[in-house]
A and B are shown apart, each in its own frame.
Chain A
Amino acid sequence: MRHRILASVGMPLIVAGLLAAAPAAAQVAAAAQVPAAKAAAAKKWRTPWGDPDLQGSWSNTNIAPLERPAKWAGREFMTEQERAEEEKKRARSEGGSFYDSSWTDGRTSLIYDPPDGRMPAPTPEGKKRQAALKAAFDRARNNGPYDGPEDMEIRTRCIIRDALPRIPATYGNSYEIVQSPGSVAIYHEAIHETRVIPIDRPIDRRPHLNAGVRQWFGDPRGHWEGDTLVVETTNFNDETAFQGSTKNLLLVERWRRAAADRIDYTFTVSDPETWTKPWSASIPWHSAGQLFEYACHEDNIDMYGILTGARADDKKAAEAAKKGTK
């Protein structure tokens, strides 16, 4: 109990003095760059306890590809007309009103840094690993062999839907943010898990988990920088491998409320064992409707069917071999 009183009363008084100078200066500098209207809008989005308010149901659906296709080379954004055409094309390819995935803010690629909209060059080791991972993925998705459950990839096995950071998929792009004074919860509809992000002031931030402890969604630590939620995640495991990264991936994500129906979201990933420099992408979150439970593993008949089929093939092959030797 004594500990808690110290932490809640003593620390802020001591820390307030230390902190006063630096962040204030940073905030003034940042504010000068933000147009007045934007700043006023941001002020509106506050929780009752005074934090910036990101709460709600959101979707990161986006038709822009991660990397910029050659036809948009040298252009970060499309014209309004080009954008309308792209949305129409996407809707058509999905057979009309399929998954409501035709949202775009006109970007020609989600990656905005490097400015060519493409991932930086891989390291030689990274290139080798990415090729091996791609071969493993193709094997798992297309040809097998399927000797046991581990031969399927993590999505088929319903372990997680995708590694962090989340790149929009064809469907299942909904998120719910709920905040409290000390933590932010980000509920992933696919596949039903929640990232619980501890929010500290940078000065008394809890250290990351021991480097030996690895998790599918890593170990997040968040703090507010002005109106922006900044979350740094480390401690990934070997199998998450975002775009072929190692488990030492450093992920920094930023959420900032931009309007009633929009959050500006960007991420920066660094992994010197995989890429020659860090890279960043922008994927706005826009209002979504009701979220539903996405139970995946519970009704996983794919795994059951693929393995049953593989054993039937084994049996057939064994019978054919027997006949051949007669």
Chain B
Amino acid sequence: MTTPLRILRAGIAWAFPLAVFSLVAIPAVAQTSAAAYKAPRLLGTPNPNLNGLWQAINEGNWDLQVHAAQPGPPQFGALYAQPPGPGIVEGNEIPYQPWALAKKKENFEKRFVRVKYDAFREIPLDPEAKCYLPGVPRATYMPFPFQIVQGNKKIVIAYEFAGASRIIPLEKVGEAPVDSYMGWSAGRWEGDTLVVDVTGFNDRTWFDRAGNFHSDALHVVERYTPASPDVIRYEATIEDSKVFTRPWKISFPLYRRLDKDALFMEFKCVPFSEELIYGHLRKQAGK
């Protein structure tokens, strides 16, 4: 039985040499610390403890790829303008098939224009603006915290945005019985890395506000590797034979929310989206 005190001692034992070492060789540590770091275990299990409130700090939700600042709606001045970002795609290239690259551009152009969406509705395309379930991996790098609740048999990840959540069984699961927004997750431990294989997606979520998208053939493999007490290295391999010419990868750190009062809160955005979706169907004065 591992006691909390032993975990703490282990933590100090690791932290001290790393701290000293990092003074002399910062780049080396950056490269090797994820591999060298031994995370505290989830008590009574052989697995690292990933529990907590986490958040990505990057601009991937605006555009996965490297991008400069862009103005927002002029009536709001500097508010809602796009911050610049180095991108989160390894090698920066998203290997679209030619038709798909054109579709990505169209997505962006029509993101706020009312267009025929399905047999019934004419609504703007941008799924985030409509408060749709954000999909995977996007939920991970939206500018909202999410909570990992890691049990011994399953893991729940609860995202603040849209009240989205996922159940990740830590065992073999069959094929996805039906397509969904957040996909069908199967988790497993590879050493200290939580690997989540996600299939069964529909084609209705985007990767970002730039219109980057996928089809229902999307297959995502996520890897969560603890790198320090307050950092998880996150990687996702993205594969979609209908849209891309080869698999590609995004990666970035997740940070623990250390704020004194950090707490999982609600962002139930459906009411915020109603004017955008239904506004044109309001009763007009005098009609």
Stretch at the interface among A128-136, A164-172, A305-313: A305-313
Please, how many angstroms separate the alpha-carbon atoms of A12 and B264 in the complex? 25
Whether A297 pairs with B132 at a CB distance below 8 angstroms is: yes
- B152 close to A (CB within 8 Å): yes
User: Residues 213-229 of chain B: 1 if any A CB is under 8 Å from the residue's CB, otherwise 0?
Assistant: 00000000000000000
Residue-wise interface mask of A (292-304) relative to B, using a CB-CB cutoff of 8 A (1 in contact, 0 not): 1101011001011
In the assembled complex, B76 has its CB within 8 A of some CB on chain A: no
A184 at the interface (CB under 8 A from B): yes
A178 touches B121 (CB 8 A): no
Of A48, A145, A292, A310, the most chain B CB neighbours within 10 A belong to: A48
Please name all residues of chain A whose beta carbon is closer than 8 Å to the beta carbon of B131 when the two chains form the complex: 297
Any B CB within 8 A of the CB of A217? yes
Q: Does B91 contact A (CB under 8 A)?
A: no
**Interchain CA distance A196-B53 in the complex, whole Å:** 10
B177 to chain A, nearest CB (A): 7
A250 within 8 A of B: no
Q: Which of A181-222 contact B (CB under 8 A)?
A: 181-185, 187, 191-194, 196, 198, 206, 209, 215-217
Q: B36 near A: Cβ within 8 Å?
A: no
A183 touches B149 (CB 8 A): yes
Report the minimal beta-carbon distance from A125 to chain B, rounded to whole angstroms: 27
Partner of B153, one of A50, A55, A157, A185: A55
Q: Which residues of A are found within 8 Å of B4, using beta-carbon distances?
A: 8-9, 12
A192-B283 contact in complex given A178-B155, A181-B43, C-beta closer than 8 Å: no
Give Cα A215 to B44, complex, Å. 35
Q: A179 is contacted by which of B147, B149, B271 (Cβ under 8 Å)?
A: B149
Tell me if A298 and B204 are in contact (CB < 8 A): yes
- B164 close to A185 (CB less than 8 A): no
Q: Which one of A149, A178, A184, A192 contacts B274 once the chains associate, using CB atoms below 8 Å?
A: A149
Q: Provided the pairs A193-B165, A209-B263 are in contact, do residues A49 and B43 lie with their beta carbons within 8 angstroms?
A: yes
Taking the closest CB of chain A, its distance from the CB of B5, in whole angstroms, is 7
Please tell me the number of chain B residues within 8 Å of chain A, measured between CB atoms: 52
Stretch at the interface among B23-31, B61-69, B178-186, B234-242: B178-186
The CA of A158 and the CA of B270, in the complex, are separated in Å by 7
B287: which of A50, A149, A318 is its contact (CB, 8 Å)?
Answer: A318
Q: A301's contact among B121, B164, B271, B282, by CB below 8 Å, is which?
A: B121
Contact (Cβ within 8 A) A149 B283: no
- Determine if A41 is an interface residue (Cβ-Cβ < 8 Å): no
Chain A residues with Cβ below 8 Å from B147 are 183, 185, 194, 196
The reply to whether B120 and A305 contact each other, CB–CB distance below 8 Å, is yes
A145, B282: Cα distance in complex, Å: 11
Pairs A–B under 8 Å by Cβ, sample size 8: A5-B8, A192-B163, A193-B165, A194-B147, A194-B158, A217-B266, A304-B278, A311-B283
Residues of chain A touching chain B, judged by Cβ–Cβ distance below 8 Å, are: 5, 8-9, 12, 47-50, 55, 145, 147-150, 157-160, 176, 178-185, 187, 191-194, 196, 198, 206, 209, 215-217, 290-293, 295, 297-298, 301, 303-305, 307-308, 310-311, 314-315, 318
Which 10 A-B pairs rank lowest in CB-CB distance, beginning with the nearest?
A: A48-B44, A193-B163, A49-B43, A307-B281, A194-B158, A185-B149, A293-B180, A147-B283, A149-B274, A185-B156
* Beyond known contacts A176-B156, A178-B153: 6 more, CB 8 A cutoff: A157-B271, A159-B271, A160-B268, A180-B151, A193-B158, A311-B283
Give B residues with C-beta under 8 Å from A: 4-5, 8, 42-45, 49, 51, 120-121, 130-133, 147, 149-156, 158, 163-165, 167, 177-178, 180-182, 204, 261, 263-266, 268, 270-271, 273-275, 277-278, 281-283, 287
